Amino acid sequence: MEEFNIYRILLGDSPTHHSYQRVEDFCSAAELLDKKRLPGIVIIDGLKGKRASEGLRVLSEIVELRRSSGFCYAPIYLSQTMPRIDMLADGVTSDIEDRLTDACAILEKGIRIKSDDLTDNHNLRVLTYMYVRGEGFVLSPVCAPFSPWVYSYPEAALLLDSLDLSSKILNPEDYNGLERLRSFKFDKEMVMALKIVCFLEENGYLKKGSLSDRIRKCPKCKTGHLNYVDLCPSCGSIDFEKKNMIHCFVCGHVAPDDDFKKNMSFVCPKCGSVLRHLGSDYDHPLESHQCNDCGTKFIEPDVKADCLFCKTRTSPEDLVVINVYGYELTEKGTAAARTGKMQMEIQLFDGQNNLILAYFCKIVEWLREYRDRYPDEVFSLLGIRFANLYETQNIFGEEFYEKLMDELISRIRAMVRTTDLTTSSAPDTFWVLLPRTPLNKSTIIAQRIEALNDLIQTKTENKIRIKAQCFDIPATEREVSVENYLSDFSEAL
């Protein structure tokens, strides 16, 4: 096993960490980052963390380390337990020796990771952070009952703080100085962390672990502080009472029993009948509530959820239901962390004619045989590849990217006949089978698709490139499979 350095950030004069291991002392994370480029094991020591200001100090050191591209995934320990801060570190220990195996395993896995890849790439940081913590690591949701987000992933929230990105994600005034630390909440980062986790899952980098809770959020402002109110179903007033009702069999009048009481007997206030026997003169109807505003009598009140933040009133069935999960890395996520590369997937084609690759190849194979017999039955293949998708999304932000992709996708779809078969051989590579279309005709479509680059180049400074080219499967060389042709053609794209 490799030898790794142990760095202690000594913040105060009451250190509790004692170890026979050689430890290098620094007075702050900033000093450590300034002097050391390669990550090591970090122990934060010297403060008892009993006072809120001490907890904040430790938090800001962790933030500083996690936002750096070198130490964002490093193992960080505290020498003393501190409420709310513990969960952001890898553990609490007064002797780092106890944790050396775990800590070294983390750094060992991180050895080949290039910190340059992690600059300005919060998605990859989250994957890397999880990856180095070993198989079975779960990114766990944490509940903060008074926060607007209720559940989020603080570990991921810490990782997104790289300089360039945070200026896009956060308003500058929110991340100056200690202002945002003071709240202990990181609201914006926590909301962003939710989005990151969601994005990584949608794109196959993370998978859901166990379900830990289910909450409901306001559909308007997406906060989770709801007040369930019961209301008069007729006028919506909250001012109603539960009453013992009487139903007069003579005239059918329904009213609270108070209205019927006269001296020692029940007299219907409407028809004047004296009601003696329950069951033959009167009964208790199902309606047992009466509205003090509109007088309506009803069986069950309506239930609505009032948002305590934005005051929107919502029917419970219209609330946004959120299942809260822990998350684990998928194989794709592991590969991305290991190689430092993420690939975006897009859904260029969908519907019945979008086939899995193997099936698509079978049909092309069949067409090839068909053409052997009927040489007039020509066909060609159109390949489309999007370059730099992931980088583009990082540079231009999610919203812009989605809009642009939506536009491109709908334009390309419009150029493809609804009867054409499509498939995808890589997250950014798509194929269209054009039956009865000779190469010279299909090339026109390819040119039209490539012309879309003109449309997007001013918007994206040529960062996204669409490559479209048509291919012909030769009538000779029968032994080469369609799969092989497609992978050769992919190289050319």
Q: Could you give the CA distance from residue 24 to residue 5 in angstroms, rounded to a whole number?
A: 8
Closest to Zn ion by CB, 292 or 440: 292
| Contact status: 268 vs Zn ion (CB under 5 A) | yes
Q: Could you give the CA distance from residue 43 to residue 10 in angstroms, rounded to a whole number?
A: 8
| Contact status: 231 vs Zn ion (CB under 5 A) | no
| Contact status: 310 vs Zn ion (CB under 5 A) | yes
- Minimum CB–partner distance for residue 232 and Zn ion (Å): 3
Instruction: Spell out, one character per residue from 273 to 292, where the chain touches Zn ion: x when CB under 5 A holds, - when not.
Output: ------------------x-
Total residues contacting Zn ion (rule CB under 5 A)?
22
**From candidates 307, 389, 456, 466, binder to Zn ion by CB under 5 A:** 307
Stretch that binds Zn ion, among 102-110, 194-202, 231-239, 445-453 (CB under 5 A): 231-239
Closest to Zn ion by CB, 307 or 319: 307
**From candidates 104, 191, 215, 250, binder to Zn ion by CB under 5 A:** 250
| Contact status: 221 vs Zn ion (CB under 5 A) | yes
Closest to Zn ion by CB, 237 or 354: 237
Closest to Zn ion by CB, 140 or 312: 312
| Contact status: 320 vs Zn ion (CB under 5 A) | no
| Contact status: 446 vs Zn ion (CB under 5 A) | no
- Minimum CB–partner distance for residue 266 and Zn ion (Å): 10
| Residues forming beta bridges with residue 103, ordered by sequence position | none
Closest to Zn ion by CB, 271 or 274: 271
**From candidates 29, 41, 194, 248, binder to Zn ion by CB under 5 A:** 248
| Contact status: 254 vs Zn ion (CB under 5 A) | no
Closest to Zn ion by CB, 188 or 289: 289
| Contact status: 294 vs Zn ion (CB under 5 A) | yes
Closest to Zn ion by CB, 127 or 305: 305
| Residues forming beta bridges with residue 25, ordered by sequence position | 8
| Contact status: 232 vs Zn ion (CB under 5 A) | yes
Q: Could you give the CA distance from residue 163 to residue 176 in angstroms, rounded to a whole number?
A: 12
| Contact status: 271 vs Zn ion (CB under 5 A) | yes
Given a contact cutoff of 8 angstroms between Cβ atoms, the answer to whether 129 and 159 are in contact is yes
Closest to Zn ion by CB, 65 or 248: 248
Note the residues at the interface with Zn ion (CB under 5 A). 218, 220-221, 232, 234-235, 237, 248, 250-251, 253, 268, 270-271, 291, 293-294, 296, 307, 309-310, 312
